[in-house]
Amino acid sequence: MPSSVFPPRSAQAQAPDVAAPARLAAAIESVAAADPDRVAIVTAAGLGPDRRRAVSYGTLASDVAVMERRLAEAHPIGVIARSGEIAALVAIVAACGRQRVPLALVAEDSRDLVGELRDWSVCGDDLAVPSPPAQGRSRREYDSSSPQVVVATSGTSGPPKLVEHSWDSLLAAARLAEQWHGRGWILVYDGTRWAGTQVWLQAILTGGRLIVPASRDPDCVARAAADEDVSILPATPTLLRRVIASADSDAVGRMRLDRITLGGEAADGQLLEQARALFPTARVTHVYATTELGEVFRVSDGLPGFPAEWLGRALPGGAKLSTRRDGELLVQLSRDTAEVATGDLVERRGERYEFSGRRSDTIFVGGAKVFPRRVEDVLRAVPGVVDARAYGLPSAITGEIVAAQIVAVDPLPEGVTPENLRAAALAACRSALEAHSVPRVLDFTRKLFTNPSGKVPRRPVGR
């Protein structure tokens, strides 16, 4: 969709003269005023025209107004927005922002954390605002300086926890050049998680269409992207790998992506090459962000990791990178803030630093370290292997041993049997890895388990 159809008033809504907390509501209102029927959100996409449900900017603006009125009446201490219908979530967030009501975005699997916010009102799809509990406090005036936004972490590095942000940090990444306005964005993340908020905020703040596929099944994602004219695909490398390897090839062929934004996991060189070959016009960007830090940097040169010269220098956003002796990446967001240990390990390879995995994912075999990502990269490069996951299995003899699961192409090429594919995978590992890094347990699986953030966990599942 050409950017010229984007109403200029919406661009003004993004301008710094609208305070960050009010910016989302203002952006929705300005698009609705100029073009009320413009589609803002499509849900249940990818199952055909009869199943999709579209919500216009006009409807979204009305919902925001309803929600703002109810907030003004109920005066909640804060609002916990529950995931459900994404349109309701957008309306709740926009209204809380402009009304300066503290807001918490809590995914379904982080419900245990809500106890920390016990006086807050839980709002869902019906946009009702329950009054604060009788024994609780009520609030007449909200902090006019900086209302908080609380987001639950995805739990990649430990149990999920609540992290407080300002509206400025929530919207920091949502300033896009005009060429990206009015586009179709696909949302494959939970809308209440950091990664998900970044996708729908960028889509709605730029007058775009947010396309929510009916499921994360690769076929459904590819059909939703093709049918709904999606041009921007933010996804984890795991999901993109699945779409490339196993989604309906007709749908993949009809996808017209201009931008692929990878995040949540490190992207390997093989995947970046495949993405470039299949979507030659798309700009492939890898974003390094965490729920705690927000976006730290992005790399768009098509190579894995980041340039080695970035270490020790202030990056465009002001962040500074360094490493510990063991290779853990440290981030200092600004001069006034402390260094944060990210838990991500990096290794220098030539002129790049490449991600070798999470510190917590490291497998220790007889005292020697194994990075599961290296094992997975080797396995994925074996012809006939679509995806792989390596993890440590506890062992009384060696502490841990390396185990791996592989997903084979379906159907297997003629003449290839599961037995000889498995032998080829082990042979590839023996020639590329040290002896203790070669998987001692190698199983086939039809699909790798992914957690609610769309990432593949590397600790044993179900043990």
Contacts with another protein by CB under 8 A lie at: 365-366, 393-398, 401, 403, 423, 426-427, 430, 435-436, 438, 440-442
Contact 172, 180 (CB under 8 A): no
- Which structure tokens are listed for 249? 């090839």
What is the Cα 146 distance to its own chain's centre?
25
- Taking the C-alpha atoms of residue 301 and residue 381, their distance in angstroms, rounded to an integer, is 21
Closer to another protein by CB, 348 or 430: give it: 430
Closer to another protein by CB, 383 or 394: give it: 394
Q: Could you tell me the strand order of the sheet in which 283-290 lies?
A: 53-56, 39-45, 209-213, 184-186, 232-235, 259-262, 283-290, 294-299
- Which structure tokens are listed for 168? 């400025």
Closer to another protein by CB, 368 or 412: give it: 368
Q: Residue 102, SS3? A: coil
Question: If you write DSSP's letter for every residue of 165-203 in order, what string do you get?
Answer: EEHHHHHTT----GGGTT-EEE--S-TTSHHHHHHHHHH
Contact 390, 433 (CB under 8 A): no
Residues contacting residue 380 through CB under 8 Å, at least 6 positions apart: 241, 268, 270, 386, 387, 388
What is the Cα 158 distance to its own chain's centre?
17
Closer to another protein by CB, 324 or 430: give it: 430
| Least distance CB 395 / another protein (angstroms) | 4
Q: How many residues does the chain have?
A: 463
Closer to another protein by CB, 135 or 431: give it: 431
Residues contacting residue 159 through CB under 8 Å, at least 6 positions apart: none
Instruction: Give the other-Cβ count within 10 Å of 337's Cβ.
Output: 13
Closer to another protein by CB, 8 or 460: give it: 460
Closer to another protein by CB, 133 or 394: give it: 394
Closer to another protein by CB, 5 or 368: give it: 368
- Taking the C-alpha atoms of residue 101 and residue 148, their distance in angstroms, rounded to an integer, is 8
| Least distance CB 365 / another protein (angstroms) | 7
| Least distance CB 424 / another protein (angstroms) | 11
| Least distance CB 403 / another protein (angstroms) | 8
